[in-house]
Amino acid sequence: MKKWPTSLLGGLPIAQTDMKTSARGFIVEALERRGSGRRPFYSTSANGQVLALCGKDPEFVKLMLQADEIHADGMPMVLYSRLFSSAPLPERVATTDLVHEVARLAEMEELSFYFLGASEEVNAKAVEEMRKAYPRLTFAGRRNGYFSRDEEAGVVEAINAAKPDILWIGLGVPLEQQFIERSIDRLTGVGVVKTSGGLFDFISGKNPRAPQWMQAAGLEWVYRTLREPRRLGMRYLTTNPKAIRALIRHSA
């Protein structure tokens, strides 16, 4: 796939690409790698939580830099780039929207998905909802995210046996990046790997999306905090200032 120009934001090279172009890129990569036994194309995303982790953990930065592509999955990053960066981003590429754009193309190209992560109930529901929305989309398989390091080799083996074109991994940050670091060279039956955070919670309906105007204004985190103040309130109070500091200090 074409290597997109990048914008340096918070110390990470963020791809200057939009939703539709990113989705088409997944399809191209998956088709090129199908049956080749090659290392999968690896795409991940950055948001405030990721930037905050990068600011305090150099080892996590190394994990992020192993990806072939890093999307901006946070509207504040896009807005900051438009105000202060010499290379502004065209738009936010949120995984919660990207999965649907990719699914529409995957139906036409007859490519398969695999969902790895979340609880058994949420994972199964997410697959069910995707099948309702995209009846011609093939699921090569699915698995919840509750497995030990001792079971990891078996999980990778099962994924390879299923031969999914696109593997969506929703284990949360930084567990999903760590899993990929350990496994990517063994995932030879996969075309594209995409880290997905809490994607399956949204697809399944467990967590609703913020209204569109809040997403566009970069206020989705406010909506989520109001819904889950005990779980997310302290997280955002601590990560948001760190993310802003990372943007100011390590952007160009």
- Write the pLDDT tens digit of every residue in 83-138: 999 889 999 999 999 999 999 999 999 999 999 999 999 999 999 999 999 999 99
What does the pLDDT average to over 49-66? 95
Per the structure block, which two tokens stand in for 143? 């698995």
pLDDT reading at 172 higher than 80? yes
Q: For residues 106 and 247, give the distance between their C-alpha atoms in angstroms, rounded to a whole number.
A: 35
2, burial (CB in 10 Å: exposed 0-12, middle 13-18, buried 19+):
exposed
CB 179 within 8 A of CB 193: no
Q: For residues 212 and 81, give the distance between their C-alpha atoms in angstroms, rounded to a whole number.
A: 21
pLDDT higher for 105 or 243? 105
Q: Burial letters for 194-208: b for 16+ Cβ neighbours within 10 Å, e otherwise?
A: bbbbbbbbbbbeebe
pLDDT reading at 6 higher than 70? yes
Q: For residues 123 and 36, give the distance between their C-alpha atoms in angstroms, rounded to a whole number.
A: 28
Residue-level pLDDT at 4: 76
Percentage of residues of the chain with pLDDT beyond 90? 79
pLDDT digits (tens, 9 = 90+) for 130-169: 999 999 999 999 999 999 999 999 999 999 999 999 999 9
Which among 42, 17, 10 has a CA at the least distance from the CA of 29? Answer: 42
CB 123 within 8 A of CB 142: yes
pLDDT digits (tens, 9 = 90+) for 196-239: 999 999 999 998 888 888 887 778 877 787 888 877 677 777 88
pTM, whole model, 2 decimals? 0.93
Residue-level pLDDT at 228: 81
pLDDT digits (tens, 9 = 90+) for 14-30: 999 999 999 999 999 99
Which among 162, 231, 224 has a CA at the least distance from the CA of 190? Answer: 162
Domain spans of the chain, in order of start: 8-249
